[in-house]
Amino acid sequence: MNFSERYGFKLTKDIQIESMDKELRTSLWNLIYNYFLEFIRTPNSIRNRGGNEFYYFFRNEVWGQHLKQPVDELRPMYIRNQLRSIYFGLD
């Protein structure tokens, strides 16, 4: 807790359980993108060989098994765009 929050100069936010405000939603999306989606590259990408394993994991486990989407249509930019659309469309 900051000094200003401790002494009542700045109001603190309530814990968001039932919904998220835009600030929290955007912050969480930025974490997802920076720590997961940024590593998805096309197979055989020279720029990021380690991303290939993550791409295959994401394609098979998350996209195919969890989200029940067809894996044969999946491309790296499509992943980001679709997940962004799903994520920001949630309540």
Longest dimension (CA), the chain: 56
Tokens of 53: 């394993």
Cβ neighbour number for residue 19 with a 10 Å cutoff: 9
Q: What share of the chain is helix, strand, coil (3-state, %, to 5)?
A: 60, 0, 40
Q: Determine if the pTM surpasses 0.75.
A: no
Nearest to 39 by CA among 82, 74, 80: 80
Q: Is pLDDT above 50 for 40?
A: yes
Reply yes or no on whether the pLDDT at 79 is more than 70: yes
